[in-house]
């Protein structure tokens, strides 16, 4: 882990602006504080502020773009007792969401 100077990882096919829209539209903010989403924000899940600096996804997987996408595709497969439901997103949308999350420092 660097000291905050690491470049934002690129995620093939991922568009951060599109990911931000999906996060607001999919109700992620019902459970997560998401910086810049402008939507009502809940606290059932951890704040996603500073997510790019987190060492692990859900405290389980090293925080790499691939692992992030794996978690988002099926959270319970990674963290069996998690309260997070699997988002109804296809792979292209998951890539956009991941591309947005890795910009949150
Ligand atoms: C019903 C509440 C709920 C909803 C809706 C929800 N999440 Fe979560 N999310 C959680 C909880 C609870 C955790 C903690 C998981 C764990 O550590 O087991 C979590 C964890 C995460 C993590 C890992 C955070 C970390 O610091 O490791 C990410 C990333 C994430 N959610 C993104 C999303 C996105 C994107 C959406 C919308 C598509 C979403 N969540 C919708 C409850 C929710």
Q: How far does the centroid of ligand 1 lie from the alpha carbon of residue 46, in Å?
A: 7
Task: Indicate the top mutation candidate among 31, 44, 57 to test ligand 1's pocket, ranked by most ligand atoms within 8 A of CB.
Answer: 31
Rounded CA gap, 28 and 30, in Å? 5
φ and ψ at residue 56, rounded to 5 degrees: -130, 145
Domain parsing of the chain, residue ranges: 16-101
pLDDT 10s digits, 9-20: 889 999 999 999
- Residue 3 predicted with pLDDT over 80: no
Q: What is the pLDDT of residue 91?
A: 96
Ligand 1 binding pocket (C-beta < 6 A) is 23, 26-28, 30-32, 44-46, 48, 51, 54, 57-59, 72, 79, 82-85, 87, 97, 101
**In this structure, which CATH number among 1.10.10.10, 1.10.760.10, 1.10.10.60, 3.40.50.720 belongs to the domain 16-101?**
1.10.760.10
Q: Minimal CA–CA distance to 43: which of 54, 32, 51?
A: 32
Query: Average pLDDT of 50-77?
Result: 96
Q: What is the mean pLDDT of residues 21-33?
A: 94
Predicted TM-score (pTM) of the model is 0.93
Give the pLDDT mean for 21-32: 94
Rounded to an integer, the average pLDDT of 15-27 is 95
């Amino acid at each position: 882990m660097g000291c905050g100077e690491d470049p934002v990882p690129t995620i093939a096919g991922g568009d951060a602006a599109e990911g931000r829209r999906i996060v607001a539209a999919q109700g992620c903010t019902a459970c997560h504080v998401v910086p810049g989403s402008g939507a009502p924000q809940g606290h059932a899940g951890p704040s996603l502020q500073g997510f790019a600096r987190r060492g692990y996804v859900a405290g389980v997987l090293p925080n790499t773009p691939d692992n992030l996408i794996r978690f988002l595709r099926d959270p319970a497969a990674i963290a069996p007792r998690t309260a997070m439901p699997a988002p109804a997103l296809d792979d292209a949308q998951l890539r956009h969401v991941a591309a947005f999350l890795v910009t949150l420092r």
